[in-house]
A and B are shown apart, each in its own frame.
Chain A
Amino acid sequence: MNRAGALRRAARAAAAARPRHAEFATEGAAAGGQIVQQPPSGAPPVEGNGQDQGGPNQLHRRFSTLPWTNPVTLQSINPKILKTEYAVRGEIVTRAQNLQQELIVKPGSLPFEEIVYCNIGNPQALSQPPITFFREVVALCDHPNLLDKSETHALFSSDAILRAFRIIDNIPGRTTGAYSHSQGIKVCRDDIAAGIAARDGYPANPEDIFITDGASPGVHMMMQLLISSEKDGILCPIPQYPLYSASIALHGGTLVPYYLNESSGWGLELNELKQQLQAARSGGTNVRALVVINPGNPTGQVLSEENQREIVQFCKEEGLVLLADEVYQENIYAEGKKFNSFKKVARSMGLEDKDVNIVSFQSVSKGYYGECGRRGGYMEVTGLPKDVKDQLYKVASVNLCSNVSGQILMSLVMNPPKPGDESYEQFAEERDSILSSLARRAKVLTEAMNKLEGVSCNAAEGAMYVFPRLDLPERALKAAGAVGMLADVFYARRLLDATGIVMVPGSGFGQVWHTILGSSYLKANVAIFLLRSHRRSLIFVVALASLLHSCRVRLTYA
């Protein structure tokens, strides 16, 4: 390594000894993406504290003097939007945002000091650091003047500089400030395709890649393409990530549920798929696609290759597009488990483009990189006829292109430093430390959960979530019913109010409501192992235990 590199590293090591971002006084307050709002100077004073997050009641009061003669009212907006639900940022999150404001306005007024957002896989909001090499390259690409300066070698690793040169030299205009090809910059698609080929051992075609602002727009594009009316159905797992239900609702299609089997570790069973498909078809629904999330969200299971083969065969036989959400492909924690892409499995079965349609979604937001705010993602669309792909391209082009530094980041994720590169050692260390910490947290958390009375939890084999089942006492159910809440929402709300921990109730993902011996089971999703440390995870588990306890106590004396 050159001298400048050594200097750079020493300086950074010294800096790292200081607390990270110590100078950002508002970090705690901003952790959930919220900070206090001051009304603009000169703005008329508003009723209330003016700093509310905008709950409907607050706003109603503020505008209450207006006569509502508007052409656009809740009754006259697109009903598909009204019908759409999105629990990851729903009721509980709104409540949490309000509590956060309360903590700022009246510190010490609540039984906890901060809100811990476990509702969403947003690791960098919970202090996970970014991968240095990736950020070096995007910084250089965003400010390519640096590349021409000799001092740059004092600040950046040499392979980051080379990579930035290679990317920027291959972007028309040598700039990240231009709209790119609507499928994404060619050199980025080339790198992504190379990464897929290296991962799978089967070739990938850059022309099949559509780079998108995160994985979500790709999902929307496919739904838009597949759904013409409510007669078109999409098979979705239950529990599922609500992006799918929301996107299907927005596009006016029908969600055809299939249930994952909790007692077999959230297994995906072919019989269940077949039954649901037949039932939907006999009800007149034209089922067009099957969504599979692997590793699972929120369920965390990693599918076996055997299971994947069955699924591919099923899609081929039944003429379904396989929409494979593979955004957690780097997040595997269970011993002996391995991620296999559906495309690889199909190719290993001898199935080619002409045999089966597979769309694979990937993102920069998950894995060890966790670059949620960068909004990078891609979908690899295989098996579609050229003229259909042209239609997809047209839809992509209406939005011009996805954000360019997100595109670059996606290409880096799929083509990271290799052994022998200057950055490799540091890169591998950063990656492994994040992944092993996630694995430890997954383990500690599931074990601790399973020690609690009334809680059982499947092992989180992958992804970023645990999804424990809480067997709530009869009285808790009644208490929830008395306030008109679903029992899991009631529970999540109580947990939030008592501890400041934000979870998503299982009903937001869909769940089977069992009734055995007169009592319902309830599941609450907890994105818990993104928490900062083991200590924090344990605090959470303790909180959960005491809450279950107090819930009973309170109800007993109620």
Chain B
Amino acid sequence: MASGKVMDPENLNENVKKTVYAVRGELYLRASELQKEGKKIIFTNVGNPHALGQKPLTFPRQVMALCQAPFLMDDPHVGLMFPPDAIATARKYLAMTGGGVGAYSDSRGLPGVRKEVADFILERDGYPSDPENIFLTDGASKGVAQVLNALIRNDRDGVLVPIPQYPLYSATIQLLGGTLVPYYLTEESNWGMDVKDLQRSVTEARRKGITVRGLVFINPGNPTGQCLTEKNLRELIEFCIKERLVLMADEVYQQNVYQDERPFISARKVLMSMGPRISKELELVSFHTVSKGFLGECGQRGGYFEMTNFHPQTVDELYKVSSIALSPNVTGQIMMGLMVKPPRPGDISYPQYKAESEAISLSLRRRARIMTDGFNACENVVCNFTEGAMYSFPQVMLPNAAIAAAKQAGKAPDVFYCLRLLESTGISTVPGSGFGQKEGTFHVRTTILPSEKDMPGIMESFKRFNADFMSKYSDSKSKL
């Protein structure tokens, strides 16, 4: 004990050890190693658009630079490099702070930005929102952790999470010592959710003595890319009311929609449209971030969550927890403001902002198509169309010989496949097991973010790899 190695892995917090976080797991580490060895790696493991060459929008970055260095606005040369509306916007945000971006803000975030978020929600949904129920956060992940922390008391408390899911949820629930209650999305019906399945999951969990307290859904889906219908959302809400669950709506991909049949519709809007008593009863938390959408400002760590119908003292308790972290980063807060209140028609920067953001959105839409079509052209690979979000999640039907080879190598079959893909093509993906998948099925998650000009080449090299892989392990050949 007195060796100095107090923190032996043996006596660490068990919850820490048990936590699994695949997005930066084995594949990512191997890819980083290969990169160090000088191999060209195409990172498609994290939705991190700027790392893959997406340029930041000009206007928000101009405002950000001016907020960072406000003395520039006193400089007679400032007009050479910054348009007047960027300067005015920077002044607006600085006036919302108490002492610039270097001062802690209120722990829930700058009141002025929370007001802009509330206005945005009103404009998006047609129903008003109260800034007092909005918490700005360092990215959406921090908000998710904070809400789950308040919800989970011990390992008898369960939270319903879709499978496949974004592993933030499984990891955070594990870290907090709660229980994940899975419900399965149906691949055959384009990753739709079925209330009967939800019901079955809840009943089974309760039979095991779990108090099911919340339900997470991701719309548009990660990693599955589906967009929920209004009908789907109504069913979800009714289900949560009936089962007395908090609904946690991960809506960070609301700007990332690549088809026109099912535009994004917020859970809050559906809830409000259902009228009282439901609209006043369901406890809903909605999450948003600056990391996604056409902004893609991952490194800024800006986000918010909005609490609807929560007990005011519970909101206060969350405020207290926020206050221990003092405040979210102030430039991230301003970025959130810039996301929800972009330049409007008539503003000097509007034409450029519109052109830049549309170019990104349209390109993402084309890439979603190229990628899903590319996967579907491969042997033993089927892929639902990426309706939204930033990912494709094809199923790979692995031959028995490949499964046996994986077993021999001590790897899960999908991990084995992804490692082979990485070694031979440099494409870094995340195996489906990191997100959860139905027993006996194997998936790969890629982002649709590589640049459009690289995309055909990437799909070509994937196809070649897959063909080689399938031919090497084809069941007929292995019998020879």
Which residues of A are interface residues toward B (Cβ below 8 A)? 8, 11-12, 15-16, 18, 21, 23-27, 30-35, 37-44, 46, 54, 56, 59-60, 62-63, 66, 68-74, 76-82, 84, 86, 88-89, 120, 122-128, 130, 132, 135-136, 138-140, 142-143, 145-146, 149, 151-152, 154-155, 172-173, 175-180, 182, 213-214, 216-217, 224-228, 243, 246-247, 250, 288-289, 316-321, 354-357, 365, 370-375, 383-385, 387-388, 391, 394-395, 397-406
Contact at B7–A372, with CB atoms within 8 Å?
A: no
Assuming A77-B151, A136-B69, is B81 touching A373 (CB within 8 A)? no
Residues of A within 8 A of B132 (CB): 37, 54, 59
Assuming A70-B309, A72-B310, is B64 touching A143 (CB within 8 A)? yes
Contact at B309–A38, with CB atoms within 8 Å?
A: no
Contact at A37–B131, with CB atoms within 8 Å?
A: yes
Nearest Cβ on chain A to B295's Cβ, whole angstroms = 8
Which residues of B are interface residues toward A (Cβ below 8 A)? 1-9, 11-17, 19, 21, 23-24, 46, 48-54, 56, 58, 61-62, 64-66, 68-72, 74-78, 80-81, 91, 94-107, 110-112, 115, 118-119, 122, 128-132, 138-139, 141-142, 145, 149-153, 168, 171-172, 175, 213, 244-246, 280-281, 283, 291, 296-301, 309-317, 319-321, 323-332
Query: Could you list some 13 contacts between A and B, CB below 8 A?
Result: A12-B71, A24-B94, A39-B128, A46-B130, A224-B13, A228-B14, A250-B149, A371-B102, A372-B326, A372-B327, A375-B138, A375-B326, A375-B329
Contact at A373–B13, with CB atoms within 8 Å?
A: no
Residues of B within 8 A of A124 (CB): 99-100, 102-103
Q: How many residue pairs bridge A and B at CB < 8 Å? A: 392
Nearest Cβ on chain B to A264's Cβ, whole angstroms = 29
Interface centre among B9, B96, B97, B100 (most CB of A within 10 A): B100
Contact at A84–B213, with CB atoms within 8 Å?
A: no
Contact at B327–A227, with CB atoms within 8 Å?
A: no
Contact at B171–A398, with CB atoms within 8 Å?
A: yes
A16–B74 Cα distance when bound, in Å, is 8
Residues of B within 8 A of A27 (CB): 95, 98
A391 partner, pick from B16, B139, B213, B328, beta carbons under 8 A:
B16
A32–B419 Cα distance when bound, in Å, is 52
Residues of B within 8 A of A66 (CB): 280-281, 309
A403 partner, pick from B14, B16, B138, beta carbons under 8 A:
B138
Contact at A40–B300, with CB atoms within 8 Å?
A: no
Contact at A125–B99, with CB atoms within 8 Å?
A: yes
Contact at A375–B74, with CB atoms within 8 Å?
A: no
A151–B75 Cα distance when bound, in Å, is 12
Residues of A within 8 A of B317 (CB): 74, 77, 81-82
Contact at B6–A405, with CB atoms within 8 Å?
A: no
Assuming A142-B65, A394-B21, A398-B141, is B95 touching A77 (CB within 8 A)? no
Residue of B nearest to A89 (CB): B323
Contact at A288–B6, with CB atoms within 8 Å?
A: yes
Residues of A within 8 A of B311 (CB): 68, 70, 72-74
Contact at B51–A154, with CB atoms within 8 Å?
A: no
Residue of B nearest to A175 (CB): B50
A214–B329 Cα distance when bound, in Å, is 9
Q: Given known contacts A143-B65, A179-B51, A375-B138, what 8 new A-B pairs fall within 8 Å (CB)?
A: A33-B104, A56-B313, A78-B153, A123-B103, A124-B99, A317-B2, A372-B103, A402-B138
Residues of A within 8 A of B331 (CB): 142, 373-374, 403, 405
Residues of B within 8 A of A11 (CB): 74-77
Nearest Cβ on chain B to A16's Cβ, whole angstroms = 7
Residue of A nearest to B47 (CB): A179
Residue of B nearest to A215 (CB): B326
Contact at B80–A151, with CB atoms within 8 Å?
A: yes
A478–B269 Cα distance when bound, in Å, is 54
Residues of A within 8 A of B151 (CB): 72, 77-78
Contact at A142–B71, with CB atoms within 8 Å?
A: no
A355–B309 Cα distance when bound, in Å, is 53
A451–B271 Cα distance when bound, in Å, is 63
Interface centre among B98, B172, B319, B321 (most CB of A within 10 A): B98
A32–B105 Cα distance when bound, in Å, is 8
Nearest Cβ on chain A to B106's Cβ, whole angstroms = 5
